[in-house]
Amino acid sequence: MNRLLVKNVSRNFGGVRALDDVSFVVEPGTIHGLIGPNGAGKTTLINILSGLLRPSAGSMKYKNHDLHRLAAHQMASIGIARTFQNIRLFPHMSCLENVQAGQHVTSRRSLLPRLFHLPSARREDRRLREQAMATLARVGLDDKAHYQSRNLSYGERRRLEIARALSLNPSLLLLDEPAAGMNPVETHEITELIGRLREEGGYTILVIEHDMHVVEGISDRVVALDHGVKIAEGSFDEVATDPRVVEAYLGTTGTERK
Amino acid sequence: MNLLLQQLINGLFIGSVYGLFAVGYTLVFGVLDMLNLAHAAIFTLGGLIALWLVQSGGVSLWLAFPMASIAAGLLGLLLNQVAFAPLRKRSDSQFSGLISSIAMAIIFEAAALGLFGARSVRFPVGTVPIHTWQIGGITITFLQVAIVCVAASLMVTLTLFIGRTRIGKAIRAVGENERAATLLGINVNGIIALTFFVSSALGGAAGILFGLYFNNLTPDMGRSIELKGLAVIILGGMGSIPGAILGGLAFGLSEVLTVAVTGTSNLRDAVAFAVLFVILLIRPSGLLGRGKTREA
Amino acid sequence: MEYLLQFYAIYGSVINFIGINALLALSLNVTLSAGMLSLGNAAFAAVGGYTAGILSVHFNLPYAASLAGGTCAAGLVGLVIGLPVLRLRGVFLAMATLAFGEVVRLAAVNLDITGGAEGLTGIPNVTTTWMIYLVLAGAAYFIAVLRRSRLGWGLVSMREDETAAASLGIPITYYKVVAFVIGAMLAGLAGGLYAHLNYLITPRDYSFFVAVDLLIYNIVGGTGVWYGPILGAAMLTALPEVLRGLGVTAGPIRMGINGLILLLVILFLPNGLASLFERRRSSAVRAEAE
């Protein structure tokens, strides 16, 4: 099934319980927001979903695969792509090359045809290049295709990372704070981009975000974590006005959130 | 039994020199997360400078020793200035620092070759008073005792310096987290320069002791100890000073014992490196080490 | 034509060494381009060289078979060593491979079948300059094509950021082992060629300093392009000859110049000499794209 099932996932680091019995379901084609104050366990959850960490307990299922049994590099082949909280681009490659690097699971680029300079190899290279350019265009970076990725602005680098994730042809996108550190203009661009992805269809997206405007703008459903525990789940309005969420963000003297 | 004990004592002596050498190595690694492969060349130059002072300058060894050690420390400052400081801002500073230390090692060795010639030289007779003691069938020379005392006191001083003084704490702070140290008002560049000075001075001192012990100095004498020094700091744990001391002693002992047991010196180094290899696989952080050793 | 033949008569051995060193430098480049600081290629050359030599001398195998044997032996050792060792990061990997190198060298010094410290003698000197350069050309072509393959893209991605590369589906450990084994086999092949060059090989031919030299060739030449290591190897192997022509013989000045070149490169031209050519090329590409 194309839905993402997170079931009773827990993760300990020594004595610290970073995640405690977290369960939720992300329906295919929807965008799920994941919120919570710092230290709530959001990035730990994403790291577990993308195979960088193993859960101490619990399971995760996607497309009939038990994610908790897979290694990090196996996630891409079942259609899971992610971005990172502190942007992990390939600094010495151009934008285009970053995206081309992301084509690993969708390309063959076999050695033998290339050794013999076969036309099939050249055709494939051309096709992959065009696809990469198209992906760049989707995030609005095609005019900067040959720029070194480390020379881009912050907002552009976030978009490039998303483009690289898209070049996997994923069905599940895990975005870790895509709007972090952005000014209002950049934030708007990212929100628009994610909205466009939803319109294009075919993507299930889990977004960690702190910026409530972004979460409100894009999420179909929201899950809230605090200290590793799921404290609320529902539509944005339901979660935003949930007293436990308010308390987690603002403390017991909480004022009403808009 | 006596033979064994004699070997143990010998191992202790050479081990203390290894330890002194390794301590400088590990100090730089602990603070900068970088391997200074020019350390062995400074080791050589320390010994050669001391020899030159004694032989051509007529300076007594008691004076030449600190003078040459300080000269070695100054070389360390030069090394930092030329080869490491310019690279610290780079993203691959660990790797490029390694390479530039190799470059400086070659340059230093060339300088040693050019200034002191290729022949092996020795300290003039009478540099060190010759006394021997016989304790229960074991022979100990004044030189050996002096070496151990000097090496031990230097290592102890360093440990106290790092552990107890304010500057020592600053050094450890820089080693833990450079940015945080800057925010705390620590002059990181100055601390790094000081670290190099101390590390190289100790390396030079080790070179002098080594030269006295084997009574044989060549421009490439650092080469034989370079790999051993690496093995020692891996064994003891990179970044750990007590580890380097322990590792040095262990290494010296195992070297001497391997020769005693197998009767030849051929397998000595092979055993050492095989052990090193195995340790890297099983417990890369060494006996007392810190620092990430596996990929994230 | 006359002049060329004369040139070759005098400098033939240097030309051969340039070819062998270039091949060795290329073998190191495979792992370097993946971000692995493995310094074991001198040891793999030793494994390949000694195996090929022993096969020729003691088993009288034909040259091609000996070469193949040496290459495969090196690859096999690379596989066995690589699996445990490639989990180590940076400096630790370097030291593990250096330690391995020393063990190999010391084994060569102490075993009878390798001829001990005096080395293995009586190897038929059937390697010709053409052979070396043919193999070099083939290896260079292979490496250049490799870079554009899926494996090549994966290796470069790993060098840039391993975690991100894994998230793209790149099997990190598997690719590291593959790169390691390819490098080992190339080094083994070079070792086998070298063994049949001059009747004899000694353990000193494969020391820790040779391993460091290979690294230097790559740094000076540049690791980003296939011709970088070749450039570095050619320049630094030929340099002593050029200096000798200028009256500078072996000794401190020659050594000092080597060190100085390396220092200047790492300080001011960190991507090696090849980056001088690449810079012009990439701005041309950009101009073309506009």
User: What is the extent of the structural domain holding B12?
Assistant: 2-107+139-282
How far is it, in rounded angstroms, from Cα C123 to Cα C197?
8
Residue B55 lies in a domain: yes
Cβ contacts (< 8 Å) between A103 and chain C: which residues?
Answer: 153
Closest residue in C to B284 (Cα–Cα): C92
CATH code, domain with B87 = 1.10.3470
Supply the pLDDT for residue C287: 46
Neighbours of B142 (CB within 10 A): 13
Establish if B266 touches chain C: CB-CB under 8 angstroms.
Answer: yes
Is some CB atom of chain B closer than 8 A to the CB atom of C164?
Answer: no
Tokens representing A8? Answer: 């009773």
Q: Do C166 and A104 touch (CB under 8 A)?
A: no
Listed residue (A109, B107, B56) closest to C263, CA to CA? B107
A-chain residues near C285 (CB < 8 A): 146
What pLDDT was estimated at residue C137?
Answer: 95
Scored b (16 or more CB within 10 A) or e, C193-224 reads: bbbbbeebbbbebbbbebbbbbbbbbbbbbbb
Beta strand extents in B54-179 (DSSP E only): 132-135, 138-141
Q: Which chains touch C (3 or more CB pairs under 8 A)?
A: A, B
Q: A52 and C161 in contact by Cβ < 8 A?
A: no
Domain assignment present for residue B278? The answer is yes
Q: CB distance from C162 to chain A under 8 Å?
A: no
C167 close contact with B: CB closer than 8 A = no
A243-252, B281-290, C136-145: range with lowest mean pLDDT: B281-290
Res A256: pLDDT: 46
The predicted pLDDT at position A124 comes to 92
Q: Of chain B residues 110-129, which have a CB less than 8 A from chain C?
A: 110-111, 113-114, 118
Structure token digits, residue B114:
């050019």
The strand pair at A80-82 and A172-176 is best described as parallel
Report all structural domains of chain A as residue ranges with CATH numbers, in order of start.
4-250 (3.40.50.300)
pLDDT digits (tens, 9 = 90+) for C159-175: 999 999 999 999 999 99
Q: How large a percentage of chain B has pLDDT more than 70?
A: 94
Residue C284 has pLDDT above 70, yes or no: no
> What pLDDT is attached to residue A150?
87
Task: Note whether C215 contacts B102, CB cutoff 8 Å.
Answer: yes
Q: Quote the crossing angle between the two packed helices A119-138 and A154-166, to the nearest 10°.
A: 130
Dig out the tokens for A118 from the structure. Answer: 């076969």
Average pLDDT of the residues in C51-61: 89
- pLDDT of B67 > 60? The answer is yes
Average pLDDT, chain B: 84
C99 touches chain B (CB under 8 A): yes
pLDDT in tens, A40-94: 889 899 999 999 999 999 999 998 899 988 999 999 999 999 999 989 999 989 9
- The residue type found at A232 is A
| pLDDT classification of B43: cutoffs 50, 70, 90 | very high
Partners of A145 on chain C (C-beta within 8 Å) are 289
The partner residue sitting opposite B277, judged by closest CB among C103, C208, C266, is: C103
On whether residue B117 sits in a domain, the answer given is: no
- Which of C89, C102, C212 minimises the CB distance to B294? C89
In whole angstroms, give the CA distance from residue C231 to residue B256: 44
The A-side interface with C (CB below 8 A) comprises 50-52, 71-77, 81-82, 84, 88-93, 100-105, 107-111, 114-115, 125, 145-146, 164, 168
Q: Is the pTM here over 0.90, yes or no?
A: no
- So what's the pLDDT on residue B181? 85
- Compare C6 and C158 and report the one with higher pLDDT: C158
Residue B232 within any structural domain of the chain: yes
Do the chains contact at C91 and B86, CB–CB below 8 Å?
A: no
Chains interfacing with B (3 or more CB pairs < 8 Å): C
Contact A194, A178 (CB under 8 A): yes
CB pairs < 8 Å spanning B and C: 124
Across the interface, do A89 and C164 touch by the CB < 8 Å criterion?
A: yes
Instruction: Please provide residue A203's backbone torsions phi and psi, each rounded to the nearest 5 degrees.
Output: -115, 135
User: Using the beta-carbon criterion (under 8 Å), do A88 and C164 form an inter-chain contact?
Assistant: yes
Of C141, C151, C286, the CB nearest to A146: C286
Of the candidates C37, C208, C266, which has its C-beta nearest B103's C-beta? C266
DSSP string, B28-73: HHHHHS---TTHHHHHHHHHHHHHHHHHTT---HHHHHHHHHHHHH
Q: Is C84 on the interface with A (CB under 8 A)?
A: no
* Set of chain C residues whose Cβ sits within 8 Å of the Cβ of A114: 145, 148-149
Q: CA of B161: how far to CAs of B94, B204, C45, in Å? A: 26, 18, 46
Quote the percentage of chain C above a pLDDT of 70. 96
In the sheet that holds A57-62, the strands lie side by side as: A16-26, A4-13, A57-62, A65-66
State how far the Cα of C179 lies from the Cα of C186, in Å rounded to an integer: 11
| CB atoms C262 and B96 under 8 Å | no
Q: Which residues pair with B141 in a beta bridge?
A: B132
The token pair that represents B83 in the structure block: 């080869």
Q: Could you tell me the pLDDT band of residue B233, with boundaries at 50, 70 and 90? A: confident
- With CA atoms as reference, the chain C residue closest to B274 would be C103
The minimum CA-CA distance between C151 and chain A, rounded to whole Å, is 8
With the C-alpha atoms ordered A227, A231, A233, A238, is the resulting torsion angle positive or negative?
A: negative
- Predicted pLDDT at B115: 86
C103 chain-B contacts, CB cut-off 8 A: 270, 273-274, 277
Assess whether pLDDT exceeds 60 at residue C290. no
| pLDDT for position A254 | 44
pLDDT at B288: 67
CB contact under 8 A, C95 and B276: yes
Q: What is the mean pLDDT of residues B165-170?
A: 87
Residue B287 maps to a domain? no
Touching A: which chains, 3+ CB pairs < 8 A?
C
For residue B143, pLDDT over 90 is answered with no
Q: What are A59's strand-pairing partners?
A: A7
Count of all residues that appear for chain B in the document: 296
**Is the Cβ pair B270, C103 closer than 8 Å?**
yes
Q: What is the pLDDT of residue A45?
A: 92
CB within 8 Å: C99 and B276: yes
Mean of the pLDDT values across residues C223-249? Answer: 88
In total, how many domains does chain B have?
1
What tens digit of pLDDT does each residue of B177-210 get? 888 888 888 888 899 999 999 999 999 999 999 9
The minimal CB distance from A104 to the residues C161, C163, C168 is found for C168
Task: Say how far apart CA C66 and CA C54 lie, in whole Å.
Answer: 8
Cβ distance of C106 and B100 shorter than 8 Å: no
Q: Mind listing the pLDDT tens digit for each residue in C88-123?
A: 877 788 888 988 998 898 888 888 787 777 888 888
Nearest chain A residue to C153 by CA: give it: A101
Q: What mean pLDDT comes out for the span B118-142?
A: 78
Whether residue C95 lies within 8 A of chain B, CB to CB, comes out as yes
User: Residue C264 above 90 pLDDT?
Assistant: yes
- The parts of chain A modelled with pLDDT lower than 70 are 1, 251-258
**Rounded Cα gap, residues A104 and A101, in angstroms:** 6
Judge whether B63 lies within some domain.
yes
Chain C residues touching residue A75 (CB < 8 angstroms): 167, 169
Residue B294 has pLDDT above 70, yes or no: no
